[in-house]
Structure 1
Amino acid sequence: MLTVPQEIYDAIVAHARADHPDEACGIVAGPEGSDRPERFVPMTNAERSPTFYRLDADEQFKVWKEMDERDEEPVIVYHSHTSTEAYPSRTDVSYASEPNAHYVLVSTRDADDLGDFQFRSYRIVDGEITEEPVTVV
């Protein structure tokens, strides 16, 4: 189960809406081993695409180095889908390299003036996708 503070939930959704019609991406860092998402880190989609995302390599290196220095890990890895449901694609599964992370997808595909969206969370380990409940606090 993913428990996420309201302000981080809102920030992820706002990033997805702001980057629409391109996919948005980023992470939420938290203390190592805590499973607590605490620090929202929006990142650049190097692809600038409505159907694909890739974290900018230089930015990712900097963010992961900063997490190491702060004894943090990526608790949430998120991105948006702009024309499909909030469910991991084959590409998303192939990118899932953080076994302890919650993989959050926000779909803006059904958004009427970006009012509606889906927010779903998954665990992806060894290619196996498991949806989990999300609690906003």
Structure 2
Amino acid sequence: MLTIDQATYDAIVGHAKRDHPDEACGIVAGPEGTDRPERFIEMVNAAGSPTFYEFDSTELLQLYKDLWANDEEPVIVYHSHTATEAYPSRTDIGLANEPNAHYVLVSTREHGNDSGPVEFRSYRIVDGTVTEEEISVVPTLDPAV
């Protein structure tokens, strides 16, 4: 199960809506081994595409340097789908290289960047196997967890 605070949920949805009609992408980092999504990091979709996302390689390298320096890891890897459901494509599955991460997909196909609801789903993707998981959106993350 993915437990995410409301502010982070809103930030991911806001990014997806802002970048529509192009796909948005980013990560939420957390302390290594905790499964706590704490630090929202909006990334640039280097592909600039409505059907594909690609992290900028220079930005991604710097991100990983920062994560290692802070003893953090990607807890959530997210991106949006602008014309299809929030389910990983074959390409998404092939790019999933963080076995401990939650892969969040947001579909903006119904309302675009207007104020309607989005489809927000989370998956674990390990060795090409996709497993959907429940999401619990909480007001704030409990620091004791």
Q: Give the structure-1-normalised TM-score.
A: 0.98
Deviating 4+ runs (over 2 angstroms): none
Instruction: Give me the identity figure in percent.
Output: 68
In structure 2, the residue matched to 1:103 is 103
Q: Give the structure-2-normalised TM-score.
A: 0.93
The C-alpha deviation readout for 1:17-73, integer Å capped at 9, x for no partner, is 000000000000000000000000000000000000000000000011100000000
Matched AA of 2:119:
Q
Measured on the aligned residues, the alpha-carbon RMSD in Å equals 0.8
Structure 1: segments with no counterpart, 5+ residues: none
The 5-angstrom pairing of residues 15-94 of structure 1 reads 15-94=15-94
Aligned residues: 137
Matched AA of 1:121:
S
Structure 2: segments with no counterpart, 5+ residues: 139-145
Deviation at 1:114, TM superposition (A): 4.4
In structure 1, the residue matched to 2:3 is 3
Distance 2:96 2:78 in 1: 11
